[in-house]
Chains A and B, each alone.
Chain A
Amino acid sequence: MDVSKKKELQALAVRIRMAALEAIHSLGSGHIGGALSICDVLAVLYGGEMRVDPQNPQWPERDKLVCSKGHAGPGVYGTLAVKGFFPYEELKTLNRPGTRLPSHCDRNKTPGVDMTTGSLGQGTSLACGMAMGEKLRGRDSRVFLIVGDGESNEGQVWEAFSFAAAKKLDNLVVLLDWNKRQLDGWTEDVLSMGDYVEKFNAFGFDTVKVDGNDVEALQGALERTRVGNGKPFAIVMDTVKGAGIKEVAETVMNHSLTVNDEQYTRWMAQLQSELDALEG
């Protein structure tokens, strides 16, 4: 990856974090940890890897994203706002009465959201059906599925992964957000899931593990998924829950946090200076 492309994606990731923070601060609290951990992959996906058109969010030939960890909505909304799917100012309506930006992703409300999620695990099967639908329609669109590591406690996730491999859904890319924490604390303590790479391989996936907060590593892994080989792809993203805002990342129980005006101002200034350095 050339340096300018890398800086561009890194800057996009910072902008997405700023947008997610804008939304969560406007409400005063929200699912900040798991939204921040996926901002880098969202930047790579919407920064060029995915075939999308912000002016035509229902374009049938587009690539689709299912954020099965639906509570990361603010990260997805931040991305869509930055990319122009809807006005940036609308981020401040998060969870307000009548909003198009509910806590969990809703395909019937938000321009650019491809699937409704929120009850953990369900997005995995939906993504399989979507990927199968693309194949039946003869389209070369890909379906990207973000799954939380805590979410993978749900049995439905593994039903869906079995299905994806059995039906050779090689237009499906699973992005496992291995941020090592869930609502009650460390996943190792709540319900240890073992080695994800071994698990995915055993389930019949073509699997790689990368630094999930490194846009260059993510881009490299995603490039491998452009041509199908009869197997679904899995990218185990080694991430930090709360990545990009040090104080959030260092708070162990950061699934949902309050964000006051002082924190917002300080964190925004930090993100802005990162952005200036990248774009300066």
Chain B
Amino acid sequence: MEIVYNGEMDKRACKEVLGRVIPQLVKEDPEIVYLDADLMSCIGTLKGTRDVADRAINCGIAEANMIGVACGLASAGFKPIVHTFGPFASRRCFDQVFLSAGYAKNDITIIGTDPGVMAAMNGGTHMPFEDMALYNTIPGATIIDVTDPTLLESAIRQCVNRKGVKYIRVGRKQYAKVYAEGSEVPIGKATVLREGGDAVVFASGILVHEAMKAAETLAAEGTQISVLDMFSVKPLDEEAVVEYARKTGAVVVAENHNRHGGLYASVAQVLCERCPVPAACVAVEDEFGEVGPQGYLQERFGLTADHVVAQVKAVLARKG
């Protein structure tokens, strides 16, 4: 794995990666089936799967049924990849995922696109600030908050062969480039992107880029922070949390999700039990989403580099 972060955007949108990798996997591995709920066009898989149409199943706008069908296919030994927008991949079919997949041990990979403010122009109805909270409650589940296109491809390839319920949340647009193309990024391990002793920011998804920008701003003011990519929200790299909490004594958690039940809640649990230090979050408060450009929404819900800087200063003040 090679880290190549320099603040530039990755040229590839994640939609392109999904549109390439999913058809490729279905063609490469006869055990893989792909199911979608009338959103194939949105991730560019419609054309690429035409010649494997028997294993690229459009279930129509019926997410609960789609999850069940995927689980039935899993029981016949197949490795299903399921896609729909994030809110419909979590809230809409939660009992089906919990029981038909999780409890019944039918292993499936679920991709929920446009998490949190990335739902932008689709607005509040399509804006999941709580999808990770739901998946966090499923025993043995895996939750990946995608950092960039390279991580997306690596995560999908690992998830299809992984036990349990796997949930990958990813925006279809561009992300800042973090990992060199072709890198394998192992699930369960946090990635250290920057070392600094004054505080640590545990970030995931689009907040990784914001945290890295914040680190530059703080460095210019003489404050050195560590930044870790916590893309593996579950299983969480608890050892990395404890190590960096001890090393720095001040923690900020940054995520494109509300503060209840996501990365902040999971990190805070570890801190409570193993290493209590001042902590704060950059996350959505107890609110529903709304419509608008992503830039506006990041300001509106407090998910920018400036918000990270402010929270780092706040925990540093409490650190004493």
Residues of A that sit less than 8 Å from B by CB: 60, 106-108, 114-116, 118-119, 121-134, 136-137, 155-156, 159-160, 162-163, 166-167
Contact = CB atoms under 8 A, between A and B. Distances in A.
B89 to A, nearest CB: 15
Contacts of B65: 124-125, 128, 156, 159-160, 162-163
A130 B62 contact: no
Given A125-B67, A159-B65, A119 B72 contact: no
Nearest to B105: A108
Contacts of B33: 136
A137 B95 CA distance: 28
Contact of A128 (B55, B60, B68, B95): B68
A133 B72 contact: yes
B100 interface: yes
Interface residues on B, range: 20 to 34
B185 interface: no
A126 B72 contact: yes
B104 A129 contact: no
B78 interface: yes
B62 A126 contact: no
Given A107-B75, A129-B73, A162-B65, 6 more contacts: A122-B99, A128-B65, A128-B69, A132-B57, A132-B76, A137-B77
A208 B103 CA distance: 34
B54 interface: yes
Given A127-B72, A132-B73, A122 B57 contact: no
Given A108-B104, A133-B75, A136-B76, A122 B68 contact: yes
B141 interface: no
Nearest to B76: A133
Contacts of B64: 121, 125, 155-156, 159
Interface in B210-256: none
B72 A130 contact: yes
Interface of B: 33, 54-55, 57, 59-60, 62, 64-78, 95-96, 99-100, 103-106
Contact of A133 (B59, B60, B66, B73): B73
A114 to B, nearest CB: 8
A134 B72 CA distance: 10
A128 B77 CA distance: 14
Highest count of chain B CB atoms <10 Å: which of A122, A129, A130: A129
Given A133-B78, A156-B64, A116 B99 contact: yes
Contacts of B67: 125
30 contacts: A107-B104, A114-B75, A115-B75, A116-B99, A118-B99, A119-B95, A121-B64, A123-B68, A125-B65, A125-B72, A126-B68, A126-B100, A126-B104, A127-B72, A128-B69, A129-B69, A129-B70, A129-B75, A129-B76, A130-B76, A131-B72, A133-B78, A136-B73, A137-B76, A137-B77, A155-B64, A156-B64, A156-B65, A162-B62, A166-B60
Contacts of A118: 99
A60 B77 CA distance: 10
Contacts, number: 106
Contacts of B78: 133, 136
Nearest to B62: A159
A156 B93 CA distance: 10
Contact of B71 (A114, A126, A166): A126
A127 B68 CA distance: 8
B97 to A, nearest CB: 11
A27 to B, nearest CB: 22
Contacts of A167: 57
A28 B51 CA distance: 57
A163 B69 contact: yes
B226 to A, nearest CB: 42
A129 B99 CA distance: 15
Contacts of A115: 72, 75, 104
Given A128-B65, A160-B65, A162-B62, A122 B72 contact: no
Contacts of B100: 116, 122, 125-126
Contacts of A106: 104
Highest count of chain B CB atoms <10 Å: which of A121, A137, A159, A162: A159
Contacts of B57: 132, 167
Contacts of B75: 107, 114-115, 126, 129-130, 133
Nearest to A129: B72
A34 to B, nearest CB: 19
Contact of A116 (B54, B95, B104): B104
Highest count of chain B CB atoms <10 Å: which of A119, A122, A126, A167: A126
A119 B99 CA distance: 8
B69 A125 contact: yes
Q: Which 7 A-B pairs have the closest CB atoms?
A: A129-B72, A125-B68, A133-B76, A116-B104, A159-B65, A129-B69, A159-B62
A156 B96 CA distance: 10
Contacts of A125: 64-69, 71-72, 96, 100
A115 B68 CA distance: 11
Contacts of A133: 72-73, 75-78
Contacts of A155: 64
A262 B114 CA distance: 62
